[in-house]
Amino acid sequence: MLQRVCVFAGVLLAVAATVLPTRAQAAGPDPRYWPLREIQFPVPVEEIKKQSPAPTKLRFYAAPDRGRFKLITERGVNDLDLIDADKKRYGFRYVSPADGEYDFALQFVYADNDVNPRDAELTAQYRIIFDTRPPTVRVAAAGGTTIEWDVQDENLAADAVQVEVRWQGQQRWTPFTPRPFRARDSYTYTGLRTTDVPLEVRVVARDRAGLEMASRVVTIAATGAASGGGGGLTNDGSIRGDTGGRDPFPPSRASQPNGFANTADIQRPEISFVNTRELTVESKLTHVTRSGVKQAALWVQDDKKRTWTLDKTQAVNIQPGDRDPAIKIPYSATADGLYGFIVVPVNGAGGKRPDPQTNEPAQFLIEVDTVKPFVKIDSVRVSPGGVTGPRVEIQWQATDKNLLPAPIVLEYSPDKMSGEWKTITPEPIAHTGRYVWEVEDKNLWKFYVRIRATDKASNSGVHVYEKEVIIDLETPNAIIEKVQGVGGPQSRVVESERPAQASPNPPPPTTPTTPTTPSPAPAPAAVPSPPAPILGTGTGSSPSGAPRPNAPVVPATPASPSGEPAIPSLPPLPGK
């Protein structure tokens, strides 16, 4: 068992090192802030297989808010999710049901059903803070050339606030950083009377998950008067002054649903998004009286009724000395839409706050959205492109009332049925309806294209373009280097087919000349030997002066006009 413990610890440290830095064991790993509900965890499968004994299965656990670990899934070592096709990396995919902090752990299961670590010994190897809500940014004019702003977010970055300016009529915003800005701050501009062009100002905030949100624009006129709302901000972040029954300062979140109208909108909380109708309302008690809390009433408001309705009263038993007292109440939404919640605790003596009134803002707002975004690739056009490779222009359409700021992921695969898709864009992109991809992979010449669109509730719509995309637009080219026979001896020139040539010298006699010797009978004439085969068409002489057979003919490289061997012509280069 000791051997298994050592092996397990070593492998998990390797896993954690690929994603998160480590802290002391008592404190757990450092958190990583994640802007999406879906996340992937790599597992070093090959290292695990080399262990002795090696586990046969892996169990993946999650624990919200540093609570108890719950089993998410159990997989065979060879049955993990493919999370990176290029690097052939496998692991676990996880979709968080809501924003918040989650710990994750891995457990080995061996062939004899032994596990390591034990359930009671599970500790966090990953700590992820899911944060899909961008900051709320409110800005207002505070008289003269002064603007005030208030930024709210649970996970603001260290340099969260940036002020940007531009002259009216310009397209580009310029960061303005005379000093570090706080989440709630103000600034007064001077020297604007020297120009006749109004100055436009906005505030941009960023959280630790990388989500950004820009405020509405406040205009400072050339006369030195700022327009854009009232006399600054109140302590709760709303605009100071009479609103006239309307909301001059709505929250700046993009695509935020309307509802809960009137001036209460100014103070309403941020909206969470979920893709299920089964909810749990969690309420933290900020004060417990000496008689404790014995009941909790859940009040609900939807964007159709606009009035508060008592949904249920739940019995609880919270004492004054209880640590971190909280209440959890289940709720089933009847349809998609925006819901507001207020929890009213009741103490042992029956004391409670007044019931909520019609215009009272919710303690928590949640948008139930179970509908996947509609997304479709309309066309894919290929052109020769530039230096890097062919250009692939992808056009699409997507609709959803709660799309993310960057909801689109484009992917490709040589086989649309394989399930292994590679990303065209390294990160999700904005819904612009068009993207141009220059293909650098020289080995890629045909593929299919897929698009995914994700909304704020983590619903994803998918569409695969029905036509296979061919990007090899070049034409091959060739030149003839030589022509030779196939399957027999090399070509020869037959004597009878050779044109006759006048010999400058008579052929030598076939036998030496000798004195005539009388003989009783004349000898028959000598039969000349057949001529040696001619292997070429050139001529030459032997040292004795007699003709000699020529060497076999070797095809020569054609000569260029300069006398140098000609370079074979190159295939045509692609044009722009």
Instruction: Say which range, 11-15, 83-87, 216-220, 266-270, has the weakest mean pLDDT.
Output: 11-15
Are residues 363 and 378 both part of a single domain? Answer: no
Beta strands in 351-402 (DSSP E): 364-368, 374-383, 391-399
pLDDT digits (tens, 9 = 90+) for 429-488: 999 899 999 898 888 999 999 999 999 999 999 999 999 999 998 888 899 988 988 775
pLDDT given at position 255: 33
Are residues 228 and 325 both part of a single domain? Answer: no
Q: Select from 327, 346, 368 the last residue of a domain.
A: 368
Q: How confident is the model at residue 193 (pLDDT cuts 50, 70, 90)?
A: low
Looking at the chain, the whole-number percentage of residues with pLDDT higher than 90 is 42
- Rounded CA Rg of the chain: 42
Confidence check: pLDDT of 36 > 90: no
In the numeric block, the tokens 């080219």 are attached to 477
| Number of domains within the chain | 4
- Is there a domain that residue 323 lies in? yes
- Is there a domain that residue 514 lies in? no
CATH code at position 426: 2.60.40.10
**φ, ψ (nearest 5 deg) of residue 496:** -70, -20
- 106, 48 contact by CB (below 8 A): no
Are residues 171 and 251 both part of a single domain? Answer: yes
pLDDT digits (tens, 9 = 90+) for 273-322: 999 999 999 988 888 999 999 999 999 998 777 789 999 999 999 998 88
Confidence check: pLDDT of 519 > 50: no
pLDDT given at position 224: 52
Backbone φ/ψ region at 61: left (φ over 0), alpha (ψ -120 to 50), beta: beta
- Is there a domain that residue 570 lies in? no
**φ, ψ (nearest 5 deg) of residue 434:** -155, 140
Are residues 25 and 90 both part of a single domain? Answer: yes
H or E stretch covering 452? strand 446-455
Are residues 231 and 251 both part of a single domain? Answer: yes
Are residues 35 and 57 both part of a single domain? Answer: yes
pLDDT digits (tens, 9 = 90+) for 123-168: 999 999 999 888 989 998 887 788 999 999 999 988 889 999 888 8
Confidence check: pLDDT of 243 > 70: no
- Is there a domain that residue 331 lies in? yes
Whole-number Å distance between alpha carbons of 552 and 216: 89
Tell me if the pTM is above 0.85: no
Are residues 155 and 248 both part of a single domain? Answer: yes
Whole-number Å distance between alpha carbons of 576 and 571: 16
Are residues 158 and 120 both part of a single domain? Answer: no
- The helix, strand and coil proportions of the chain, stated in percent and rounded to the nearest 5, come to 5, 40, 55
Task: Look at strands 126-130 and 32-34 and give their pairing.
Answer: parallel
- Is there a domain that residue 545 lies in? no
Task: Look at strands 81-84 and 403-413 and give their pairing.
Answer: unpaired
- 452, 422 contact by CB (below 8 A): no
pLDDT given at position 169: 79
Domain hosting 291: range is: 271-368
Confidence check: pLDDT of 11 > 50: no
- Three-state SS for 568? coil
Whole-number Å distance between alpha carbons of 329 and 576: 64
Confidence check: pLDDT of 360 > 50: yes
pLDDT digits (tens, 9 = 90+) for 402-439: 998 889 999 999 988 877 899 998 789 999 899 999 89
Q: For residue 146, which of 42, 32, 245, 229 has the smallest C-alpha distance?
A: 229
Are residues 85 and 150 both part of a single domain? Answer: no
- Is there a domain that residue 194 lies in? yes
pLDDT given at position 474: 84
Confidence check: pLDDT of 3 > 90: no
Q: Select from 200, 221, 256 the last residue of a domain.
A: 256
Are residues 151 and 230 both part of a single domain? Answer: yes
With 0-12 / 13-18 / 19 or more C-beta atoms within 10 angstroms meaning exposed / middle / buried, residue 262 is middle
Whole-number Å distance between alpha carbons of 503 and 493: 19
In the numeric block, the tokens 């052939």 are attached to 88
CATH code at position 62: 2.60.40
Are residues 310 and 427 both part of a single domain? Answer: no
pLDDT given at position 285: 87
Q: What's the whole-number average pLDDT of the chain?
A: 75
H or E stretch covering 14? helix 2-19
- For 244, half-sphere exposure in the C-beta direction (CA atoms, 13 angstrom radius) is 4
Residues in the chain: 576
- Three-state SS for 539? coil
Whole-number Å distance between alpha carbons of 487 and 499: 28
- Is there a domain that residue 230 lies in? yes
Are residues 142 and 238 both part of a single domain? Answer: yes
Q: Select from 470, 492, 525 the last residue of a domain.
A: 470
- 424, 277 contact by CB (below 8 A): no
Whole-number Å distance between alpha carbons of 244 and 218: 20
- Is there a domain that residue 203 lies in? yes
- Three-state SS for 6? helix
